[in-house]
Chain A
Amino acid sequence: MRRIISILMENEPGALSRVVGLFSQRGYNIDSLNVAATEDPTLSRLTLTTFGDDRVIEQITKQLNKLVDVVKLVDLTEGAHIERDLMLIKVRATGVERDEVKRTADIFRGQIVDVGPNVYTIQLAGTAEKLDAFVAAMGDAHILEVVRSGVAGISRGEKVLSL
C-alpha cells in the first residue's frame, strides 16, 4: 500500500542522508521525497511516499523514529490528510496543438507560467494521482520536460505535527 510519511527532523547537516541512507540500507523504496526548512529554522520537514505491506511500513516508521535526528513522525495515510505535489511541465505546443494544450491545462486547473513560440511551461499542483493523469492526458509526444516537487502533506483538522 502507498503511504505518505511526514517527518519533523533536526535541520542539521547529514540528517537527510541518514534518512535516505536508511531506505537503501534496509531495502525499502522511496517513491518521492520532499524536504525543506519550516517556520522554525532548526527544524526541517520531510515528506516521503513509499510502498509496503503493514509490516514493512511498521518497520520503516520504527527505524525512522530511531534516527537521532528525527524529532517526530506521522504516517499521514492513517488519517484524513491533504497531499500536494507541484509539477512544472514543459510541452511542445505549435499550431493547432497550442489551443489543445491550453484547454487540457485549463481542465486540470493548470497555469501556463512561461510561453515560447513553440513551447508552453505549465504549472500544476494537486495529488500525485492528478499529476499522473495530466501527464497521461498530454501524451508522450508533447512532453519535453517534467519536474515534480514530490508529495508534501499535512493532516486535516486540528491535528498538527509539531514539537
Chain B
Amino acid sequence: MELLSGGEMIARALEDEGVEYIFGYPGGAVLHIYDALFKDCKVPHVLVRHEQAATHAADGYARATGKPGVVLVTSGPGATNAITGIATAYMDSIPMVILSGQVQSHLIGEDAFQETDMVGISRPIVKHSFMVKHASELPGVIRKAFHIAASGRPGPVVIDIPKDITRPDEKFEYDYPESVKIRSYNPAQRGHTGQIKKAARLLLGAKRPVIYAGGGVVQGEGSELLTKLARHLNVPVTNTLMGLGAYPGSDRQFLGMLGMHGFYEANMAMHHSDVILAVGARFDDRVTNTVSKFCPGAKIIHVDIDPTSISKTVQADIPIVGPVGAVLTELQTQIEQLQEKDGAGPDEGALARWWQQIDEWRDKHGLWHGRRFDTSDHIMPQEVIQTLYKVTGGEAYVTSDVGQHQMFAAQYYKFDQPRRWVNSGGLGTMGFGLPAAMGVKLAFPDSDVACVTGEGSIQMNIQELSTCTQYNLPVKIINLRNNYLGMVKQWQDMQYEGRYAMSTYEDSLPDFVKLMEAYGHVGMKVDKLSDLEGAMSEAFAMKDKLVFMDIFIDPMEHVYPMHIAPNGAMNDMWLSKNERT
C-alpha cells in the first residue's frame, strides 16, 4: 500500500472522490495541503478573493450539477469568512464539503494565532462535522463526509484539520474506502407503502387538488416523475422559490411560484384546495403566511426525506418519509393500479370545474396572463427579466442575489428545467449571486449563465470580478439598477410611511462601466427600453466576455403580489400599490 502524508492524502482523496473543482483560499494552517495540491493533484483549484465567495461558488456548482461543492480554507479568519456560505448551503440543503485548516493539535485551546473553534462555530449550520485527530483517519473521514453531504437530505459537512495532521514528513498507508457504513446514519430508502396507498386514494378522490413542490424535488432528481404524475392526474402544480424548474415553468398546468410573492392563482388554488400533495417542501413562513389560517379545507399529503420537515409547522394528514424519487415512483404505480382494479377517479367533472376556476384567477390577476405592471418613463424590472428570458431562449442558468430583483427573476423567468435557477432561498444571502454564477459557469462553460442582481447585493462580493478575470468566467451580470436597497425600500414604503432609513446610497455608487473596464470586463449602461433587447443580445453574443449590464429601472416599483401580514391567510394579497384581495 502507498504511503502518503496527510496533505497528500487530501489531494488524493479529492481525486478519488471525483471532485471537479476546489474553491479556496490559502493560509498558514493549510499550506501543507496547498503544497500537496500544487505538487500532485489533478483537481483544479479556483482561487477566490474572499472565502465567503468560495462557499457560494461551490454552492452554485453543487446546485447546478447535483454534486457536492468542495471548499478549502485556512483556520481562524478563513474559516469564519466561510460561515455565511455554509449557512446558506445548510438552509437550502445543498451538498458541500468544507475542509478548514486548524492550528496544530498541541496548540488547540491556547488561543493560538488564527485559532477558532470551527467545529463549534459551524455546529448549528452543518449537517455534520469532523475534527481529524490523526492523518490515518483522513481517507475514511473524507469518504464519510462526502457520503453524508450528498445522501439523505443533503447539506454541508465540515472537516477541521489541524496543521500537524498534514505535515509532509510523516507518511501513512493510504487506502480510499470503497463504501461507507455509518451505523448511526441511515436515511430512508423508500416510503411506507401503506401511507403511499392512502395518498393515492386521496389524490384520486380529490376535487380541488394542488401539487406543491419544493427544492427537494430538484435535489432528489424527482422532476420527471413529478411531471409525469401531475400530467397523469391533470393536477395543477405550484413550485416554491427553491423548487422553480421542478415542474416546467411554461407548462399549462403550472401555476407559478407560491408564497409571499407568489402568483395570485397559485396562492388562491392552495387556499381553496381540498388535497395538497407537498413534495420536498417544508411549509416555511415565506410560503404559509399565518399557519393557523393555512389552507383551511385541505387534506395534506407530505412527502419528504427529512422527518423533521414533516408536521413542523403545518400538520400533515398523510406523512410519507422517503426519497422523492422512490416515493413518486411508487405513488404513480399505486394510482395506476387503483385505477385499473377499482376503476377509481380522478373525478373529471370536478377537475374541469377546478381548472375553470383556476383559469378565471389567471385571467384576473395572473402575472403571465396580461401585463400586470405599470408603464413609466423608466424601464420596468419585469421587462428586463422578460427580455432576459427571450434573449436566452429560456435556457440560461440564472443565479440571483437577494431583493426585489430576485423576486422579479423568480416570477418572470419561466424555468422549464430543474437546476437552472440558483438562488439563496432559505438564508436570503445578499452577495450570493456572482460567486454562485462562477461555480455554475465552471460546471457548464458552454451555457449562458446570468446573474440577476441589484447594486446593493453585487457590492457584497464584487471583488470576485477579479476571480472571473483570472479564470476567464464570462458570466453576464444583469444589474436591476434602482438606486435603492429596493426590497428594504418597498417595506419602508408599505410599513414605515416611506421613511427610507439607510436604504439609499446617495451619490456613492461607483461607475460600474468603468469598474468593469478596470477588471478587463465589459460594462454597459442601459436606460431606454428601446435599447434593452438589442443591448442584451449584444451582451450574450460576447461569449468570452464577462458583461455587466447596468440597467436603470423604475426606482419606485414594488414586487407584487405580496402576502398581507401579519394575520393574513394564503389568499390575502396586495396585488398592486392600491389593489388587494
Interface secondary structure of A, over-half rule: helix
Q: Does B580 contact A (CB under 8 A)?
A: no
Interface size counted on chain B using CB atoms at 8 A:
19
User: Are A68 and B185 CB-contacts (below 8 A) given A14-B119, A18-B123?
Assistant: yes
Residue of A nearest to B148 (CB): A68
Residue of A nearest to B307 (CB): A62
Q: What is the CA–CA distance of A55 and B313 in the complex, to the nearest angstrom?
A: 10
Q: When the two chains form their complex, are residues B131 and A14 in contact, meaning their CB atoms are under 8 A apart?
A: yes
Q: When the two chains form their complex, are residues A68 and B184 in contact, meaning their CB atoms are under 8 A apart?
A: yes
Q: Does A163 contact B (CB under 8 A)?
A: yes
Q: List which B302-325 residues lie within 8 A (CB) of chain A.
A: 306-308, 311-312, 315
Q: When the two chains form their complex, are residues B184 and A69 in contact, meaning their CB atoms are under 8 A apart?
A: yes
Q: When the two chains form their complex, are residues B308 and A63 in contact, meaning their CB atoms are under 8 A apart?
A: yes
Q: A162: shortest Cβ distance to chain B, in Å?
A: 12
- Looking at the complex, which one of A10, A17, A55, A62 makes contact with B184 (CB distance below 8 Å)? A10
User: Are A58 and B311 CB-contacts (below 8 A) given A9-B184, A71-B183?
Assistant: yes
Q: Does B489 contact A (CB under 8 A)?
A: no
Contacts of B343 in A (CB 8 A): none
Q: Does B182 contact A (CB under 8 A)?
A: yes
Q: What is the CA–CA distance of A70 and B308 in the complex, to the nearest angstrom?
A: 15
Residue of B nearest to A18 (CB): B123
Q: Does B143 contact A (CB under 8 A)?
A: no
User: Are A13 and B131 CB-contacts (below 8 A) given A21-B123, A21-B124, A68-B185?
Assistant: yes
Q: When the two chains form their complex, are residues A66 and B306 in contact, meaning their CB atoms are under 8 A apart?
A: yes
Q: When the two chains form their complex, are residues B312 and A17 in contact, meaning their CB atoms are under 8 A apart?
A: no
- Looking at the complex, which one of B128, B312, B315 makes contact with A68 (CB distance below 8 Å)? B128
Specify which of A10, A13, A68, A71 lies most central, judged by the most chain B CB atoms within 10 Å of its CB. Answer: A68
Q: What is the CA–CA distance of A23 and B174 in the complex, to the nearest angstrom?
A: 39
Q: List which A38-65 residues lie within 8 A (CB) of chain B.
A: 55, 58-59, 62-63, 65
Contacts of B119 in A (CB 8 A): 14
Contacts of A163 in B (CB 8 A): 183
Specify which of A55, A59, A65, A66 lies most central, judged by the most chain B CB atoms within 10 Å of its CB. Answer: A66
Q: When the two chains form their complex, are residues A66 and B307 in contact, meaning their CB atoms are under 8 A apart?
A: yes
Q: B93: shortest Cβ distance to chain A, in Å?
A: 12
User: Are A25 and B183 CB-contacts (below 8 A) given A13-B131, A66-B308?
Assistant: no
Give B130-144 as 1s and 0s: 1 = Cβ < 8 Å from A's Cβ atoms. Answer: 010000000000000
Q: A19: shortest Cβ distance to chain B, in Å?
A: 11
Give A67-89 as 1s and 0s: 1 = Cβ < 8 Å from B's Cβ atoms. Answer: 01111000000000000000000
Q: When the two chains form their complex, are residues B311 and A17 in contact, meaning their CB atoms are under 8 A apart?
A: no
Q: A150: shortest Cβ distance to chain B, in Å?
A: 22
Q: A51: shortest Cβ distance to chain B, in Å?
A: 19
Q: When the two chains form their complex, are residues A17 and B120 in contact, meaning their CB atoms are under 8 A apart?
A: yes
Q: What is the CA–CA distance of A21 and B184 in the complex, to the nearest angstrom?
A: 19
Q: Does B490 contact A (CB under 8 A)?
A: no
Q: When the two chains form their complex, are residues B131 and A55 in contact, meaning their CB atoms are under 8 A apart?
A: no
Q: B206: shortest Cβ distance to chain A, in Å?
A: 26
Q: What is the CA–CA distance of A14 and B159 in the complex, to the nearest angstrom?
A: 13
Q: What is the CA–CA distance of A14 and B185 in the complex, to the nearest angstrom?
A: 16
Q: B315: shortest Cβ distance to chain A, in Å?
A: 8
Residue of A nearest to B125 (CB): A25
Q: Does B163 contact A (CB under 8 A)?
A: no
Contacts of B423 in A (CB 8 A): none
Specify which of A25, A58, A62, A63 lies most central, judged by the most chain B CB atoms within 10 Å of its CB. Answer: A62
Q: What is the CA–CA distance of A30 and B120 in the complex, to the nearest angstrom?
A: 20
Contacts of B182 in A (CB 8 A): 68
Residue of B nearest to A55 (CB): B311
Q: Does B12 contact A (CB under 8 A)?
A: no
Contacts of A10 in B (CB 8 A): 184
Q: What is the CA–CA distance of A71 and B311 in the complex, to the nearest angstrom?
A: 23
- Looking at the complex, which one of B120, B148, B184, B307 makes contact with A70 (CB distance below 8 Å)? B184
- Looking at the complex, which one of B129, B131, B307, B312 makes contact with A65 (CB distance below 8 Å)? B307
User: Are A17 and B123 CB-contacts (below 8 A) given A68-B182, A68-B185?
Assistant: yes
Specify which of B182, B307, B311, B315 lies most central, judged by the most chain A CB atoms within 10 Å of its CB. Answer: B307
Q: B303: shortest Cβ distance to chain A, in Å?
A: 16
A residues neighboring B (CB under 8 Å): 9-10, 13-14, 17-18, 21, 25, 55, 58-59, 62-63, 65-66, 68-71, 163
**Assuming A59-B312, A68-B184, A68-B185, what are 8 further A-B pairs, CB within 8 angstroms?**
A17-B120, A21-B123, A63-B308, A66-B306, A66-B308, A69-B184, A70-B184, A163-B183
Give 6 pairs: A residue, B residue, CB < 8 Å, sorted on A. A9-B184, A14-B119, A14-B129, A25-B124, A59-B308, A66-B307
Question: Which 8 A-B residue pairings sit nearest by Cβ, starting from the closest?
Answer: A71-B184, A68-B128, A62-B308, A25-B124, A62-B307, A68-B185, A21-B123, A63-B308
